[in-house]
Structure 1
Amino acid sequence: MSILDLYSSAFLERNRDHFAAIVRIALSDGNINPEEKAFLDRLADNLNISEEDYKTILKNPDKYPINPPFFYDSRLERLYDLTCMVYVDHIADEEETRMLHKLAVGLGFTPGNVKYIISKAYDLISHGADLDTFKEEIRHMNR
């Protein structure tokens, strides 16, 4: 196996695991509504998730680990995606918020700060913040 193949498979595995975490949030209320489905479809395409993996992940997203990215910037990007998934229907219910807290800790955010980070993330997404604004605002609150 070449180094390129190893890198490519690790990259695809991380994307698959990240996608599975987002599916967990979508399923936290028991079903996937049309807005969530559209978001998942777009995200699966952006993350290069195969149709086969897509179906497998929808059946059992808990089988995939939360693999936190090494770089803080990448963790913020993942948090942005997760928060968008929760807020896609403009309602962040209690179960989705609980799941987002767990995933944020899994991504490497400090448990003592997760409540505040998630609150800020919701606020930013509800006001239409793009990824760059989101990352900048979360970075500043975390200093």
Structure 2
Amino acid sequence: MGLSDYNLSGEQKRNIAHFASIVRLALADDIITEGEEKLLKRLAKRFHILEEKHKEILENPNDYSIETPHSYDERIEHLYDLAMMVFADGEASKLESEVLRKICIGLGFPLNNAEKVTEEAIHLILNGSDLDDFTKAIKQVNRI
């Protein structure tokens, strides 16, 4: 985290941490495909991440810790973004699934249910679910 990061608002820091998690997932197989790069650029724009910060995160995504959103719906939305990255290159590797499961735990999903939530998230994205359908299904799988 650079010196300039200390002046960021809480929301900006959370967006950067979430984006770094997405980058870690994209780099799970050590390359960023064209599809993954397109999704990263779209998400960077959505999260208001400037080009310089975007490059910095791409170079060192592990420098940013996972920040768990307080809201359950926000956690599910973050999971949705992450699951979308798994399929940005058109396939889901075992390594990407493992990284997604670890991040799922970091987002606050229960350890004993993380595998089930991860599998459902991947299944939902594979079937083209939108955020609303994704949220409903994850809530069913992860009853709290």
* Superposition TM-score, scaled by structure 1 size: 0.93
* Aligned residue in 1 for 2:90: 90
How many residues in Structure 1 have an aligned counterpart in Structure 2?
A: 137
State how far apart, in whole Å, the 1-side matches of 2:67 and 2:95 are.
22
Q: Give 1:91 deviation, angstroms.
A: 1.2
Runs of 4+ that moved beyond 4 A: none
Q: Is the 8 A contact 2:66 2:103 kept in 1?
A: yes
Q: Does 1:42 align with 2:42?
A: yes
**Match of 2:66, SS?**
coil
* Aligned residue in 2 for 1:100: 100
Q: Give 1:90 deviation, angstroms.
A: 2.5
Structure 2 unmatched ranges of 5 or more: 1-7
- Identical aligned residues as a percent: 44
Q: Is the 8 A contact 1:24 1:62 kept in 2?
A: yes
* Aligned residue in 2 for 1:78: 78
Alignment RMSD (CA, Å): 1.2
Structure 1 unmatched ranges of 5 or more: 1-7
* Superposition TM-score, scaled by structure 2 size: 0.92
* Aligned residue in 2 for 1:66: 66
Q: Give 1:103 deviation, angstroms.
A: 0.3
Deviations 1:98-132 (A, max 9, x none): 11011000000011101111111111101100001
**Match of 1:28, SS?**
helix
Q: Give 1:95 deviation, angstroms.
A: 1.2
